[in-house]
Amino acid sequence: MKVVIIGPAFPLRGGLATYNERLARAFKEAGDTVRIVTFSLQYPNFLFPGQTQFSTDAGPADLQIEVSLNSVNPLSWWRVGRRLRAERPDLVVFRFWLPFMGPALGTVARLARGNGHTRVVAITDNVIPHEKRPGDGPLTRFFLSACDGFVTMSRSVLSDLQRLGFGKKPALYRPHPLYDNFGPIKPKSEALAALGLPATVRYLLFFGFIRAYKGLDILLEAFADARIAALPVKLIIAGEFYEDAAPYEALIQRYQLESRIIRATDFIPNEKVADYFCAADLIMQPYKNATQSGVSQIAYHFERPMLVTDVGGLAELIPDGVVGYVVPPTPAAIADAVVAFYAGQREAELAAGVREQKKQFSWPVMVAALKEVAEATE
């Protein structure tokens, strides 16, 4: 099968780029011909909250990546779409995560499938965004109406598609595959040494871009609980601020958490991800709303227990008491779980549960789902 993936990839950085590159390799492993079309401009600078959109790593030598799509230049949409229509790939996979991308991706999709042969399937991370803005609905519908079918990575997004009126198009739910591209599991002692952290302290990890919906403020309030303060436990905050850091710093000062916080608030390069996860006892995801999380799939790969809040699709992949804790998004509930984790000495038990559960999250399953949806539209 001839496949084109459209979405972030090198030289762009971040979880979406990592996913799309790993998906391309999965198609190659299945015997398909695949290339990625990524953005020459993903976001205008005034819309991008981080430090830089671009990776400083060497590009993947094993993948064909075309840098040609400009999210705000309609001429580039037409060029990419018309080229795809002429090339007649069997399957074009779009990664859709933000209404802002609706006009660009929707235009390319319409042009590509205009040849009567190419099938367009979208992996829809969200169809109702975490942070809502005027115009989200029409922009999202413009893209969704250009697709032949969908694969979602949470049941809540599958329900959202039906609620938005796209329930008649083929759609499948498949969980987010493992992020298995960050290297092998390291001994905790080795990871701590790489980070320069003492082994006399235990560590919780909050990982990823910091945005309001991810609930770092709730976690900081939980960390102020006197029971946790009495433990030899520190919180590692590893990830770049995608909004003003001042409110979080104010909480750290208010609750006198400075000595119990480790900041790594720059972008974490791929080669350091293993150190942060393998150094931690428990991976913290105190989200206020969510559909799915790539952080969970990194934790599964490194066989680390998790704490997630019972919002959106997070709990679908985290059996409570088997691989970690599913709790309400409140400081008290999070603190209770952390205290129970250490009091019960549950790290080894939950890590064993993670090892068993991770077997279900494979990239071949995701590739098969995309092909199944494409075939259902023929």
Q: Return d(Cα 349, Cα 353) in angstroms, integer.
A: 7
Radius of gyration of the chain (CA): 21
pLDDT at 56: 64
pLDDT at 268: 85
Nearest 10 degrees: CA dihedral of 34, 97, 364, 179? 110
Number of C-alpha atoms within 13 angstroms, CB side, residue 264? 21
Domain definitions of the chain by residue range: 2-177+362-376, 188-360
pLDDT at 250: 95
Q: Return d(Cα 346, Cα 324) in angstroms, integer.
A: 9
Pairing of strands 171-173, 202-207: unpaired
Instruction: Classify domain 188-360 at the CATH topology level.
Output: Rossmann fold (3.40.50)
Q: With CA atoms as reference, report the closest residue to 44 among 131, 111, 106, 104.
A: 104
pLDDT at 270: 85
pLDDT at 206: 97
pLDDT at 131: 67
Same fold, 2-177+362-376 and 188-360: yes
Strands (E), 293-362: 306-309, 324-327
Query: Can you tell me whether residue 54 is helix, strand or coil?
Result: strand
pLDDT at 125: 86
Mean pLDDT, each 10-residue run in order, the chain (378 residues) = 96 88 96 97 65 66 95 96 97 94 97 96 86 83 96 90 90 92 94 96 94 93 96 95 90 95 88 96 92 86 96 85 96 97 97 93 94 88
How does DSSP assign 242-293, residue by residue?
A: SS-SHHHHHHHHHTT-GGGEEEE-S---HHHHHHHHHH-SEEEE--SS-S--
Q: Return d(Cα 170, Cα 70) in angstroms, integer.
A: 29
pLDDT at 289: 82
CATH number attached to the domain at 2-177+362-376: 3.40.50.11930
Q: Cα–chain-centroid distance for residue 364?
A: 18
- For the whole model, what pTM was predicted? 0.80
